[in-house]
Amino acid sequence: MPENFDIQSPVIIGGVGGSGTRVVAAIIAQVGFYLGSDLSPEMDNQLFMLLFKRPGWYRKARLSSKKIFTGLSLLSKAMILRETFSFAEIRFLLEAVLGMFLAGHNHMGDGRGIWPFVRAWKLLTTKPNVRSKCVGWGWKEPNSHLYLEHMSSYFKKLRYIHTIRHGLDMAFSGNQQQLYNWAPFFGVEIPKSKTDIPKSMLAYWARANRQVLAIGERLGRQKFLIVNFDRLCLSPESEIQKIISFLNIRPDAKALDLAYQIPQPPKSLGRYKKYCIGQFDQADLDELARWGYSINASSQNA
């Protein structure tokens, strides 16, 4: 492990699924952070997925700091320390593999079968690919936001980056995994039909982000940063400078220039304007202003 690494100082990237966490992760990696060796094409840390993206397990475990701390200890050891795993950590891993094998990690059953065994095999046989030039470590996995309270207690010097995107664009997104996995924990009803999805998704977006913001306000600016994906795409240099300042690093000019080129406005930016928004609860629409978002007038009658 590079000498400048601190086990207590991970940089963690989370957000409601589809909010642009992959772009933020690519920027963080470009300026020198190690985000793991077992990543999905979206740069999700697949070990975190195996250990923590388990709705059935979360129902009880969210009330037990001891269980979650065991998983975080296993994750950090696997990523950078490679110390001997404790009996409790091995048991945690085996339970995660079995649970994922049977149920998967979302409402579609993705992750069932061999997937968790591949993750466990890589964990036990692959050395972390941490280079000496890395300036720090962490991971990107959108569902991390559910564990922010526990992670901030376990990692005393963590820095958490929460990515947020216009709630109405999120409501009409095709990525509803978090909605189906976690909505009941936020008092949001699982959609009964496809036509119910946008309304439920905006409600989940509003409540999940509100919870994260409440925790973030307690953590303070040194540990918590919100990245507005819309602004990041439209004004990448100024927004990336905020990230660099938050991380307290000085990347070289070439790395920074490459980072500036990563954000690109997706075709889906502003997609809500094609839809009527009369279906949404006013309380959820009011949450948009909390995050600095407005509603295009034409969409109200689309």
pLDDT per residue over 225-283, tens digit each?
999 999 999 999 999 999 999 999 999 999 999 999 999 999 999 999 999 888 899 99
- Give the tens place of pLDDT for each residue, 121-169: 999 887 777 776 789 999 999 999 999 999 999 999 999 999 999 999 9
Q: Please check whether residue 110 is in contact with residue 104, taking contact to mean a CB–CB distance below 8 angstroms.
A: yes
Confidence of residue 297 (pLDDT cuts 50, 70, 90): low
Model confidence, pTM: 0.94
Q: Mean pLDDT over all residues of the chain?
A: 92
DSSP 235-249: SHHHHHHHHHHHHT-
Least confident segment among 120-129, 165-174, 198-207: 120-129
DSSP 270-293: TGGGGS--TTS-HHHHHHHHHTT-
At residue 298, does pLDDT exceed 60? no
Question: What does the alpha-carbon distance between residue 75 and residue 80 come to, in Å, rounded to a whole number?
Answer: 9
Q: How far is CA 271 from CA 266, 279, 292, 302, in A?
A: 10, 16, 17, 12
In the structure encoding, which two tokens stand for residue 15, read together? 């957000």
Return the percentage of the chain with pLDDT > 70, whole number. 96
SS3 letters across 98-109: HHHHHHCCCCCC
Give mean pLDDT, residues 5-13.
90
Provide the pLDDT for residue 219.
97
At residue 4, does pLDDT exceed 70? no
Question: What does the alpha-carbon distance between residue 103 and residue 280 come to, in Å, rounded to a whole number?
Answer: 32
- Give the tens place of pLDDT for each residue, 213-222: 999 999 999 9
- Give the tens place of pLDDT for each residue, 54-100: 999 999 999 999 999 999 999 999 998 767 899 999 999 999 999 99
Provide the pLDDT for residue 230.
95
For the chain, list the domains and their CATH numbers.
11-301 (3.40.50)
Give mean pLDDT, residues 15-24.
96
Question: What does the alpha-carbon distance between residue 274 and residue 68 come to, in Å, rounded to a whole number?
Answer: 42
Geometric angle at alpha carbon 227, from 222 and 231, rounded to 5°: 140
At residue 3, does pLDDT exceed 80? no
Question: What sign does the CA torsion over 118, 44, 97, 82 have?
Answer: positive
Question: What does the alpha-carbon distance between residue 100 and residue 51 come to, in Å, rounded to a whole number?
Answer: 9
In the structure encoding, which two tokens stand for residue 104, read together? 């998967």
At residue 2, does pLDDT exceed 90? no
